[in-house]
Amino acid sequence: MAKINVSVIRQGIRGRLKVREETRKFYNGIFIDLGELVLFTGRVIKQMFQAPFEFREFAKHGFLLGNKSLPLVAVTGFIMGLVLSMQMHPVLADFGAQTLLPGVVAISMVRELGPVITGLICAGKISSGIGAEIAAMTVTEQIDAMEVSGTRPLSFVVASRITAATLVVPILVIFADAFSLLGSFLAVNIFEETSLTLFFNRSFSMMGFVDFLPSILKTIFFGFFIGLIGTYKGYTAGRGTESVGLAANSAVVSASLTIFLIDLVFVLITSIL
């Protein structure tokens, strides 16, 4: 019995030590990854302000990213406005406040739902696409060939995509907000007849400059980090073919988490101010 107990105790100790070692490696990996991301960000920002600027690549990727993401963003925004209005109308009608519905939906979409939902869509669409594309270039040694030939891959490949994402995401958010109001207008007309002019007057009468400014600022940060994380995951991908899928998956998860963290910071700052 004594030998059995000692064996069980030893196995338990080894199991705990193994769990602690895996936990330590996990947290060390996170901090190492964050440190490398900070260094990568510094190098990319430095390349952004060094001539020559890749305007052609910036314009090309801006058009491609926006063109590919716009249909999904528009449909999602339209459905969000439609569903939100249909869910809130009976509640407001119980208090005789259904005339406030356009303004409530507009504030909800502009302040929070529009930027966050669009950011998550772009994280899944843009960040994963950038990560997979650059990871494929890394695997096929195209990045190495650029460095050997004298082309700056951080400027030509990375900085142009980050700048394009930073510009495109706020524009996509504006489209999402516009289509959400259109969906809300159709939902309101299901319950009562309302003119488009009256609907938009009620929508914007409850909003002020303080509602637009934080939304625009955080969408700029959304776009920057969506592009940054996608390019970082692709640029630092391994040499195997499976690293392409890993880079795309990791980019989506990291970008989505970053969007929630940025949104939390902006909500805390606006609440304090």
pLDDT tens, position by position, 157-188: 888 889 999 999 999 999 998 999 998 888 88
Residue holding tokens 């930073």?
A: 166
pLDDT of residue 2: 46
pLDDT of residue 142: 81
pLDDT exceeds 50 at position 3 = no
What is the spatial distance between Cα 140 and Cα 134, in angstroms, rounded to a whole number? 10
- Interval 232-246: pLDDT, tens: 888 887 777 777 888
H runs (alpha helix) in 95-208:
101-108, 114-122, 128-139, 142-149, 153, 160-191, 196-205
Q: Which of 4-8, 101-105, 148-152, 209-213 has the lowest mean pLDDT?
A: 4-8
Q: How confident is the model at residue 17 (pLDDT cuts 50, 70, 90)?
A: low
- Interval 25-61: pLDDT, tens: 555 566 777 778 788 888 888 877 777 777 888 888 8
CA distances from 212 to 7, 60, 166, 216 (A): 65, 28, 17, 6
H runs (alpha helix) in the chain:
2-48, 55-94, 101-108, 114-122, 128-139, 142-149, 153, 160-191, 196-205, 209-235, 242-272
Percent of the chain with pLDDT over 90: 15
